[in-house]
Amino acid sequence: MQNLIDLFHNKKLFNKALQLARDGRPAGYERLEFLGDRVIGIVVAEMLYHAFPNEKEGDLAKRFVALVREETLAEVAAQIGLPALLKTTENELRHNASVLSDVCESVLGALYLDAGLDAVKQFMEPIWKPLLLSKRQAPQDPKSAVQEWVQKTFKELPVYQLTDKTGPDHQPVFTVTLSAGPYTVMGRGYSKKEAEQQAAQSFLETYCHGH
């Protein structure tokens, strides 16, 4: 795999994509993250469109969610060496899945600005292709699986409620309570999204196993 920094003409842009907030100044990567989210989405969507020509839109969407979710992006960030490149003095952030996911998006957004969509595709395809082909059946994220089961079982929708937020401002821990029918579970994570996914996974393992 080609060294990521070698793909950039503008090294300052590459460094900006890796700059976390410091001394009260906003993080350099945040606007690039917004762009990178969309860039990753279009590349992954096109890969899925060509790789599974006979699948329905709904199944493609399930695959898409699994390939662009926080956990997947954090794994990719680790694979391409981003934790060591992060510009921060807080080393615990180098292992924060939410931060790594965001920076993965920002770096690929920066690469798009610097070298164009083709360069992003060439970099992404060998990384995402094994992930894309690893499941023969379309995966289902925990929240979708919980929603289907709850609707079928109780004829209602699951309810996610933020019930606690602890920890320092730069690394808060969110607690989300998931309620459905007579059941309640909690999930925790470094983002509300992660906490909701953890709650949904716990619900599946506790109440939906075997159903």
How far is the C-alpha of 20 from the C-alpha of 100, rounded, in Å? Answer: 11
Query: Does residue 169 have an active-site annotation?
Result: no
**Separation of alpha carbons 107 and 13, rounded Å:** 9
Cβ contacts of 1 within 8 Å, gap of 6 or more: 80, 126, 127
Rounded-to-integer distance, Cα 48 and Cα 68, Å = 12
Calculate the CA dihedral of residues 138, 142, 148, 152 and round it to 10 degrees.
130
Active-site pick, 37, 102, 114, 194: 37
Residue 37 is a catalytic residue: yes
Please pick, among 33, 70, 102, 105, the residue that the annotation labels catalytic.
105
Q: Helical H runs in 52-208?
A: 57-68, 70-79, 82-85, 97-115, 117-133, 142-154, 192-203
Positions marked catalytic: 37, 105
